[in-house]
């Protein structure tokens, strides 16, 4: 890494993703000059810890970005739409975690292990988009296979943890679980139904097509990241009562046959992807093991006998780390090393 230091703003610093962003920046020793923490007026004046020091939270305004080199946004799509242009005009490069800019043709959508070279196209809008958490963990194993034999079709069902919908949802699962175990009725505010001891086939809002926006993000973002407009993808996204870590059942059909042995070899050679697949010893990826880590884990690798050239996979990662904060900081590292 270069010796230069960079002035970094974290927008949404008090949120589930923002706080993890601070952890990851500290752990990876990102070369920070000034660190500016931004959130809503509700949090202005609060303090957050960074490398053992207290840093005050400031209110996000159009004037927040003077002197900032890199702005990491995770404060909701509306804030990203409203403030990324102001940050860019002030000279910052924005790395945005929301869905606001992901499908903009002028904005690169990046998972460094898959399409890190696309970061070079940051200069158009001075915005780089971080994909959706469920997309990020899926495209690692997909890319490993796709480079060996073109993927024709993907069928994915997700098992997504509540931390994907922020701090209030983490609190809702915790409180509901406690109330129900103590024989009391449970309220719900974040989700339209009780999430404790339940599954909701509903993430983000429904479209007229019957799909949810979350499902369409997985479809459209996967095509953009893999650079294949014709890739056929279908998704069902489900919220499960897990705190941290998304799991995915992924069926992948390729042009040529890929044996289980070959798939293991391709996954093992792929950066930041780990094979956990020893069923004789009940070893497979699980969210409780992935939580707190930056790797994506793949297991249950087996042939789909109902199709010509297809594999079934089980893919797990920490949605707040690789699915959000870690991926954004990896992008920032490449940006400062190679492009700024």
Helices (H), the chain: 16-27, 77-89, 112-115, 133-146, 167-181, 213-226, 260-269, 287-290, 326-334
Q: How far is CA 297 from CA 116, 222, 223, 274, in A?
A: 20, 18, 22, 5
CB of 147 or CB of 206, closer to ligand NAP: 206
Cβ closest to ligand NAP, residue 14 vs residue 222? 14
At closest approach, how far in Å is the CB of 237 from ligand 12T? Answer: 8
Task: Report d(CA 161, CA 166) in Å as an integer.
Answer: 10
Q: How far is the CB of 335 from ligand NAP (least distance, A)?
A: 17
Residue 167 contact, options ligand NAP, ligand 12T, none, Cβ 5-8 Å cut-off depending on partner type: ligand NAP
Sequence length of the chain is 340
Neighbours of 128 (CB within 10 A): 25
Closest to 313 (Cα-Cα) out of 160, 144, 111: 144
Shortest distance in whole angstroms from residue 224 CB to ligand NAP:
14
Which two tokens mark 324? 């959000």
CB 79 to ligand NAP: min, Å? 5
User: In this structure, are residues 107 and 46 in contact, taking their beta carbons and an 8 Å threshold?
Assistant: no
Q: Which residue in the set 166, 285, 287, 299 belongs to the binding site for ligand NAP (CB under 6 A)?
A: 166
* Binding flag, residue 296, ligand NAP (CB under 6 A): no
Q: How far is the CB of 204 from ligand 12T (least distance, A)?
A: 4
- Interface with ligand NAP by CB under 6 A: which range of 160-168, 188-196, 267-275, 280-288? 160-168
Task: Identify the helix (H) or strand (E) that includes residue 61.
Answer: none
Q: Token pair of 251, please? A: 């069926």
# binding residues, ligand NAP (CB under 6 A): 29
- Residue 329 CB, nearest approach to ligand 12T (Å): 16
Q: Which two tokens stand for residue 139?
A: 């495209």
Question: Is there a contact between 4 and 32 (Cβ–Cβ < 8 Å)?
Answer: no
Cβ 245 to ligand 12T shortest distance, Å: 12
Among the residues of 118-212, which ranges form H helices? 133-146, 167-181
Using the contact rule CB under 6 A, the part of the chain among 140-148, 163-171, 219-227, 286-294 near ligand NAP is 163-171
Given the rule CB under 6 A, which residues bind ligand 12T?
98-99, 132-133, 160, 164-165, 203-204, 214, 217
Q: Pick the closer one to ligand NAP by CB: 71 or 301.
A: 71
Q: Which residue in the set 25, 111, 323, 326 belongs to the binding site for ligand NAP (CB under 6 A)?
A: 323
Q: Of 133, 146, 188, 339, which is the active-site residue? A: 133
Six token digits for residue 113 = 């292990």
Task: Measure the CA angle with vertex 117, ends 272 and 8; round to 5°.
Answer: 80
Enumerate residues 122-141 that contact ligand NAP by CB under 6 A.
Answer: 130, 132-133
What SS3 state is found at 122?
helix
Residue-wise burial string across 44-53, b where 16 or more C-beta atoms lie within 10 A, e elsewhere: eeeebebeee
The item of ligand NAP, ligand 12T, none sharing an interface with residue 74, based on CB under 5 to 8 Å by kind, is ligand NAP
Q: Is 84 a catalytic residue?
A: no
Nearest-angstrom CA–CA distance, 112 and 85 = 24
Q: Is 94 a catalytic residue?
A: no
- Is 74 one of the binding residues for ligand NAP (CB under 6 A)? yes
- Residue 8 or 133 having the CB closest to ligand 12T: 133
Among the listed residues 23, 85, 121, 167, the single contact to ligand NAP using CB under 6 A: 167
Query: Active site residue: 84, 94, 146, 246, which one?
Result: 246
Q: Does residue number 232 form part of the binding site for ligand NAP (CB under 6 A)?
A: no
Active site residues: 133, 246
């Amino acid at each position: 890494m270069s010796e230069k230091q960079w002035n970094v703003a974290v927008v949404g610093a008090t949120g589930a993703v923002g706080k993890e962003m601070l952890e990851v920046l500290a752990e990876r020793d990102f070369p920070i000059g000034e660190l500016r923490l931004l959130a809503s007026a509700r949090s202005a004046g609060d303090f957050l810890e960074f490398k053992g020091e207290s840093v005050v939270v400031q209110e996000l305004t159009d004037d927040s970005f003077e002197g900032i080199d890199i702005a990491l946004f995770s404060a909701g799509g509306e804030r990203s739409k409203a403030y990324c242009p102001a940050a860019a005009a002030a000279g910052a490069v924005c790395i945005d975690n929301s869905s606001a800019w992901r499908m903009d043709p002028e904005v690169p959508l990046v998972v460094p292990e898959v399409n890190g070279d696309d970061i070079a196209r940051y200069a158009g809008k001075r915005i780089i988009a971080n994909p959706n958490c469920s997309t990020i963990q899926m495209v690692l194993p997909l890319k490993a296979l796709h480079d060996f034999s073109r993927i024709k079709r993907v069928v994915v069902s997700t098992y997504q943890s509540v931390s994907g919908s922020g701090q209030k949802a983490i609190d809702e699962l915790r409180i509901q679980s406690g109330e129900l175990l103590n024989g009391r009725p449970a309220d719900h505010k974040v989700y339209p139904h009780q999430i404790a001891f339940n599954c909701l086939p509903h993430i983000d809002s429904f479209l007229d097509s019957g799909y949810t926006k979350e499902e369409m993000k997985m479809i459209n973002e996967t095509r953009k990241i893999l650079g294949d407009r014709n890739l056929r993808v279908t998704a069902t996204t489900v919220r499960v009562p897990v705190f941290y870590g998304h799991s995915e059942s992924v069926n992948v059909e390729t042009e040529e046959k890929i044996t289980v042995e070959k798939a293991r070899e391709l996954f093992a050679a792929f950066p930041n992807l780990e094979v956990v697949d020893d069923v004789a010893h009940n070893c497979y990826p699980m969210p409780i093991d992935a939580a707190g880590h930056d790797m994506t884990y793949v297991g249950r690798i087996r042939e789909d006998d109902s199709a010509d050239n297809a594999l079934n996979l089980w893919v797990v990662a920490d949605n707040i780390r690789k699915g959000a904060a870690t991926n954004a900081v990896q992008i920032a590292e490449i940006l400062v090393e190679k492009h700024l």
